[in-house]
Structure formats: structure tokens, C-alpha cells
A and B are shown apart, each in its own frame.
Chain A
Amino acid sequence: DIQMTQSPSSLSASVGDRVTITCQASQSISSYLNWYQQKSGKAPELLIYGASTLQSGVPSRFSGSGSGTDFTLTISSLQPEDFATYYCHQSYYTPYTFGQGTKLEIK
């Protein structure tokens, strides 16, 4: 199975900060990398698919980049509603696998 490793596991930041979360795959997954946001008690929501394409309705402060094994999710200017847990997800090979999550907390 492809292992997805996110870093950091948790992150404290302030409103207005620029934040970057990284995700590394254990083997190349081309651009088959997606990012989700999950708020407490809710289902995940798709932010970015295909490594860099913004899902419809997602604010433009979210962006994704990378290909192969190394990927990045960037939030350009944190808003109060962005404090949540973020997961990367590879959809190149089954079983599809997720990173362990990055919990973004208010500083």
C-alpha cells in the first residue's frame, strides 16, 4: 500500500498567517493527490483535487502544488473558519490511502 506522510501533525497559527502543510507519498503518484478539510464532528470536504485544482466553491486562498511524491497545501491568509484538520489522499492505486492528518489550531 502507498503510505502518505503529512507534516506537521499539528500546527498553531494566527488569523492572517500563511500556512503550508506537506504530504509525501511512499512512491510516485503522479498528480493523483487530493486535499480535504474536516471540522470537528463533520464529514470531510474536498478542497483540491489533482494536486492543484481548486474544487468549485473553495476560496482562492487555498492552493495546492506538487507531483510525484511531494505535495503541498498552502493557505495564503488564514481565516477563522480555516481552523480544522486537513488530510491528503492518494487516488493513484487502490487501496486509496490518506495521510494521518494535520490539525490546524488557533495560536
Chain B
Amino acid sequence: QVQLVQSGAEVKKPGASVKISCKASGYTFTSYYMHWVRQAPGQGLEWMGIINPNGGSTTYAQKFQGRVTMTRDTSTSTVYMDLSSLRSDDTAVYYCARDRRDGYTSFDYWGQGTLVTVSS
């Protein structure tokens, strides 16, 4: 069965960076794009970007350009999301989500989420 397992919660100081992992299993890792979506406490969902595990190409939301880097390791079927220059408003649960890749982009499997708290 498809599973996306994310790394654990993080507490960071303003200005620091955080790197979250998302390990995929149960399917061919390189056949499905992966997205990152975040959700601030009590707020809605915000798309951050996408990575193609086959080749590593990425597209980031303009809002995060220059601060976010998405990478992958095909040997471990893991994608990573690195967010730098953290601010208090980056406090959120970060999700990886698999792209269905069947005509209409949608997210059919999600990781359990990783809470990142940015606080001095």
C-alpha cells in the first residue's frame, strides 16, 4: 500500500533553516510527482511547490522562491523540502502529497504532516 512517512516535528529559531523528509513506499517512486503543501495553525492549505522524482526538476510557488529547495534521493525513495530564513509565520504543518498524474493534477496520498514551530 502507498505510504508517505514524514520526519518528526521541529522547533527552529527565526532565521534558521529546516529540512523535512518524506519517504515513499508501495509504488514506483520515480513515476509520480510530489508536492509540498503547508497549513498554518487554524488556517487553510497553501501549495509550496512540486518536484519530479524522475530527474529532480522543480517548480516553486513565487512566494517561496529563493527560500525553498526541494530535492529527492531515488536510492531511498525520499523527497526533501528545505525552507530557509524562517520567520514566525512559517509556523505550520508541512505535508508532502503525491500527484495522481492522471490528467488532472490532484493529491491522492498525503504524508502525516510535520509541525514546524518557529520561535525565539
Contact = CB atoms under 8 A, between A and B. Distances in A.
A100 B42 CA distance: 11
Given A44-B45, A98-B46, A50 B104 contact: yes
B44 A100 contact: yes
Interface string B32-64: 000100000000111100100000000101110
Interface in B73-120: 95, 97, 100, 102-108, 110-113
Contacts of B110: 43-45
Nearest to B98: A46
Given A44-B45, A97-B47, A98-B47, A91 B106 contact: yes
B107 A44 contact: yes
Contacts of A94: 47, 50, 59, 61
Given A43-B110, A43-B112, A95-B63, A87 B104 contact: no
Contacts of B108: 46, 49, 55
B64 to A, nearest CB: 9
Given A43-B95, A43-B112, A94-B61, A87 B107 contact: no
13 contacts: A34-B104, A36-B107, A43-B110, A43-B111, A44-B107, A49-B102, A49-B104, A53-B104, A87-B44, A87-B45, A89-B45, A91-B104, A96-B35
Given A32-B104, A91-B105, 20 more contacts: A36-B107, A43-B113, A44-B110, A46-B100, A46-B106, A46-B107, A49-B102, A49-B104, A50-B103, A53-B104, A91-B104, A94-B50, A94-B61, A95-B47, A96-B47, A97-B47, A98-B45, A98-B46, A99-B44, A100-B44
Interface of A: 31-32, 34, 36, 43-46, 49-50, 53, 55, 87, 89, 91, 94-101
